[in-house]
Amino acid sequence: MLETHDPCSRSPFSIETLVPDFVPPELPATFSSPDAVATADRSSRHWTSESAGALHPGTETHKRDVCRMFRETFNPYRPSVIDWPRLPAETVARLQALPIWDIAVQTEGKARLRMAAYARLVKDPDMRSAIALNAWEENRHKQVLSKMVQAYGIPLVSEPSYPVPRDAEWEYLLTGYSECIDSFFAFGLFEMARRSGLFPPELVETFEPVMQDECRHILLFANWVAWHRANLPWWRRAHFEVKVLAVWIFLAWERIGMARGIDANGNETLQDNNFTLNGSKAVSDREINIRELMTVCLYENDRRFAGYDPRLLRPTTMPRLVRLALRLFKR
């Protein structure tokens, strides 16, 4: 069990401190050429296993290929050398007005620690390395956001401390399933922002690698859940299923609270924690109904996963719920 007084929680974040055998990936020191950027983008979106036959969850082949996928689709962009485009004053003002930046930075701060805390408990070296890399990428996303708010003068509140989780598996499940929900809607909202023209193409393209990272993250998580579940003895599997159900109940309640503008302690929130569910007005200059939002989210979700081996499991809860809702809307 990890204690909140762990010194890592009060020092600069370091994956290597939490997961000593993790080796950070190498990144370019300068701006990459357009050809190198395009090659990295293609590699991050397409991957097929060389294994023959089905990839059964819980098998060594399935685990090995999931970890290979995550490692080989890594996109080596460096936040410190991103060339943030110069934006018109009205676009900067629109960015500054979005009610998401504090919660976005803090979410990445919590995610990186939760994933690293769980990774150091994983005994399998391949899966431990993959989850640690996921934590490293969450930290990179936080750096991207930090560089962007600096570039465009977006004010942020002081960040809270990020304690090391007491129950690392619970926090990892909470983060993973939360990302499955948020990424599904974020894919659609990102596409709406691109179509609307409210934000310059250069800015949208700057964030494209981050969006595809999120697709890889939830692909890894969905396959980890299946692999982990299949390798548990039946008495531990029952406990795990109860924990998964509790996570979904917690997330449903949390999002009801977010939609009402309150936090988990019943306090009114100043930022929109549920932006991924109701942020279409902020990324488009026209009214978008819920059916259109759902349709775009489904299409973008399918598009982003299309390049990965179809034998790998995908997150299914949000796509299934939305498809059911669309069928009901027709009645």
Domain coordinates in residue numbering, the chain: 15-20+58-329
Instruction: Give the Cα separation of 250 and 235 in Å (integer).
Output: 23
Encode the chain (331 residues) as per-residue pLDDT tens digits: 333 333 333 446 788 888 999 999 988 777 678 888 899 999 999 999 999 999 999 999 999 999 999 999 999 988 877 888 898 898 898 888 887 888 888 889 999 999 999 999 999 999 999 999 999 999 999 999 999 999 999 988 888 888 888 999 999 999 999 999 999 999 998 998 888 887 888 888 889 999 999 999 999 999 999 999 999 999 999 999 999 999 999 998 887 765 444 344 445 554 455 555 555 566 666 677 788 889 999 999 999 999 999 999 999 999 999 999 998 877 6
Per-residue pLDDT, 9: 38
Closest CA to 69 of 88, 55, 82: 55
Residues contacting 34, CB < 8 A, separation 6+: none
CA distances from residue 250 to 2, 30, 104, 178, 306 in whole angstroms, order as listed = 22, 43, 19, 10, 30
CA-based R_g, the chain, Å: 20
pTM: 0.89
Q: What is the pLDDT of residue 193?
A: 84
Measure Cα distances from 316 to 43, 46, 102, 268, 274 in Å: 24, 20, 29, 32, 20
End-to-end CA distance of the chain: 50
Predicted local confidence at residue 318, as pLDDT: 95
Q: What are the angstrom distances between the C-alpha of 70 and each of 2, 43, 47, 48, 242?
A: 26, 11, 9, 11, 28
Rounded to whole angstroms, the Cα distance separating 243 from 173 reads: 9
d(Cα 146, Cα 142) in Å, to the nearest integer? 6
Predicted pLDDT at 258 = 58
**58 vs 141: CA distance, rounded Å:** 30
Q: What are the backbone angles phi and psi of residue 197, rounded to the nearest 5°? A: 80, 5
Architecture of the domain made up of 15-20+58-329:
Orthogonal Bundle (1.10)
